[in-house]
Structure 1
């Protein structure tokens, strides 16, 4: 099993970030807006420092838990920027629901040391993939807020954020479109590096199949939105399906290999 004790310079900021996520979840209704912004900045910095301790040193280690941690950090980054543009958005407990477990999992399962790169452009493929994870995670969070707001409106209760529902929907699909573009670039880079690294050409793996399925679902969702005006529950369910497939594609397959099968990923 790829389970290791992380050094103190990685453990300390990770534990601090996890604690900060929990404080954001528990104290978001009690703290002033300025205190929340300051706490988010501290959590963002600690989480980024923990990621740097894992990825910015030699040998860098990467695995399913690190992917989740980077995704959570990207979601927090985008959310922090959004709250500057749209102060009406409130900090939600779901932020901690993603962040704290992801940080702690990365401590327990730091993954394997990254192999020697056969191409200097290979990190670009990884960067596209992780960024698509992050943007799709942001889109899912917005879709959940959109559905929650719609449910509260139907029941006559006040929504927790003041953003109009149509504006929230437009923001959600902007993130969906951005995630689709990055996922397309990820697949194109994957095709190139697959031919470069494998003598037999394109390698059909679980990761490849699930990623292609996620890309196809996102494409159909965007087409349906543009051509038929899909929205509401139908659009949200398709987005959740695409995110689930993408999660199975890399995180799921790496979890099975690293934890269940206890093998070194190739």
Structure 2
């Protein structure tokens, strides 16, 4: 099912795609034009983010339907995740205002919004429990917070590579924007911030699992449940290792990548298989 221009959510999402594209290609500028060009970049990004938010609300709650319904799927989940990560980037922009990061996030957001046109997910009229909406919201929040942790972890790894590169080498020049000075914060501060996002995402994932068990009658062990619990265990081990044994650097990042992969497979992966590969309806 391809989203039609007649759909209520098409035009906000189309505006978001175009504005994200502008934000990703507009130059930062040099000299006296820096401030003016930066304002244009952030204006485009703000417009895209707001249009993206409107499309998420309209599409998630399926106002086109004759009865109240919620729409979910792997592409909308990715769209919400990139929207939340961009919100974190906007808050952190005074310290992480790297053009390359902004361009990458803008392109990623545009791709996920466009992907939602082709794979809008399934409508689920009503819900079996009043706790179900909170379960869905906390699940999306956990994706967004872990996504923000991944963004900070990637910057941290780039900064570490820069510190290890020989001065004047090609790799040092390539990674010059990833230094702790360019990031606007010490490397240890960036590492601490990464783990804080992991802890916040872990808390939201815990709430998601508790609400899922509470609102499901009966509880069933499907692929989504198994991968969600496995990702919860990996993040629990990571946080325990961090605060009890002082895990840092590559070791912590490897556990973060492992837990994030399992979390991605939990909802987005299972939905992708059901919707795209098997063409079967999936249980929320």
Matches within 5 A, 1:1-20: 2-5=1-4, 7-20=6-19
Partner of residue 81, structure 1: 91
Matches within 5 A, 1:3-82: 3-5=2-4, 7-27=6-26, 29-30=28-29, 32-56=37-61, 57=63, 58=65, 59-82=69-92
Q: Looking at CA atoms only, which structure, 1 or 2, has the larger radius of gyration?
A: 2
Q: Which whole-Å CA distance do the structure 1 matches of 2:147 and 2:6 have between them?
A: 29
| Greater alpha carbon shift after TM alignment, 26-35 vs 158-167 | 26-35
1:90 aligns with 2:98: yes
1:7 aligned counterpart, secondary structure? coil
How much has 1:21 moved relative to structure 2?
A: 2.3
Aligned residues: 258
Q: Which whole-Å CA distance do the structure 2 matches of 1:102 and 1:20 have between them?
A: 14
Residues 233 and 109 of structure 1: CA distance in aligned 2, closer, same or farther (over 3 Å): same
Partner of residue 169, structure 1: 191
User: What TM-score do the two structures reach when normalised by structure 2?
Assistant: 0.85
8 Å contact 2:231–2:262 — kept in the other structure? yes
Partner of residue 140, structure 1: 150
Residues 88 and 35 of structure 1: CA distance in aligned 2, closer, same or farther (over 3 Å): same
How much has 1:241 moved relative to structure 2?
A: 1.1
User: Which blocks of at least 5 consecutive residues in structure 1 are unaligned?
Assistant: none
How much has 1:97 moved relative to structure 2?
A: 4.1
How much has 1:264 moved relative to structure 2?
A: 1.3
Partner of residue 149, structure 1: 159
Q: How far does the alpha carbon of each residue in 1:128-177 deviate from its partner, in whole angstroms, 9 at most, with x for none?
A: 11100000000001100110111112214432423221111111111000
8 Å contact 1:183–1:215 — kept in the other structure? yes
Once superposed, which parts of structure 1, at least 4 consecutive aligned residues long, lie more than 4 Å away?
none
Q: Relative contact order: is structure 1 or structure 2 higher (C-alpha 8 Å, sep ≥ 6)?
A: 1
8 Å contact 1:16–1:46 — kept in the other structure? yes
Partner of residue 212, structure 2: 190
8 Å contact 1:133–1:179 — kept in the other structure? yes
Residues 87 and 33 of structure 1: CA distance in aligned 2, closer, same or farther (over 3 Å): farther
Partner of residue 263, structure 2: 246
8 Å contact 1:6–1:107 — kept in the other structure? no
Q: How far does the alpha carbon of each residue in 1:190-211 deviate from its partner, in whole angstroms, 9 at most, with x for none?
A: 11122xx22xxx3111001101
Q: Which whole-Å CA distance do the structure 2 matches of 1:113 and 1:64 have between them?
A: 13
RMSD: 1.8
Partner of residue 258, structure 1: 275
Matches within 5 A, 1:157-236: 157=172, 158=176, 159=179, 160-194=182-216, 197-198=217-218, 202-236=219-253
Q: Which whole-Å CA distance do the structure 2 matches of 1:7 and 1:241 have between them?
A: 41
